[in-house]
Structure formats: structure tokens, C-alpha cells
Amino acid sequence: MKNSEPWYGVRLIYRLTGMSRPAYEERILIVRANSEDDAIARAERCSREYESETAEYIGYAMSFHIFDEDGACLEPGTEVFSLIRESQLDPADYLDRFHDSGSERARSDSEN
């Protein structure tokens, strides 16, 4: 791997079965690669180390080119992933549909 290759954030989805109820996990890995397809392939190779009897990669990945024009290392505040989804939903309905259905293990603003 060359240090001149750009950084990518790759989002991978896993099915978790070792919990009280089946669940899904989204992980974002950062990799250096020469294209989006190469980034996904490299992240998938890395994901094999994470997989287990209770965590199965389901074959869904998305990549995001991290804009690091001068090739410097990542630093705090660097955007490592972004997804834009077109939607006519208002903000509360959008969050309920895609991000806050009630079954997430997530921290809300009230817990900060």
C-alpha cells in the first residue's frame, strides 16, 4: 500500500446474533486505496477479522472518499463518512424512519 493513496471511509453492515435479540451493526473503517471499489475490497478484507459466530458481514458496503488533498494524516474533525439521502420527510419523521426507530443502541442528546 502506498502512502500516496487517498483515504476512504467504508461503511459495512453486520448481522449480530449473540444478543438477546438479533440486531444489525454499522461500522465505518478508514482505509487507503486507489479507488472506491478498492477501498471496499480492502475494508471487506479487514472485516474478516471482526466477523465471528455472532457477527456476520452481510455484504453491504458504501465508500466515501475522504478529502485529504495534501495526503497528510487524518486529524480531529476530519470527515470520514458522509451519506446524502433525498427525502421529502420533515426532520422528526426522517429521524424516526432512518435513524431513531426506537430499536437503536444509541445515545440521545438528553443523555449528553
Task: Convert the pLDDT of each residue in 23-32 to its tens digit.
Answer: 888 899 999 9
Whether the predicted pLDDT of 1 surpasses 80: no
> Which residue carries 478529502 as its cell?
67
Q: How far apart are alpha carbons 38 and 43 in whole angstroms? A: 9
- Dump pLDDT digits (tens) for 40-98: 999 999 989 999 998 999 999 999 998 866 656 677 777 888 877 888 888 888 888 88
If pLDDT is split at 50, 70 and 90, which confidence band does 111 have? very low
pTM score, whole prediction? 0.76
Query: 31 with 43: CB under 8 angstroms?
Result: yes
What is the distance between the alpha carbons of residues 3 and 73, in angstroms, rounded to a whole number? 10
Q: Which residues in 74-101 are b (16+ Cβ under 10 Å) and which e? A: eeeeeeebeeeeeeeeeeeeeeeeeeee
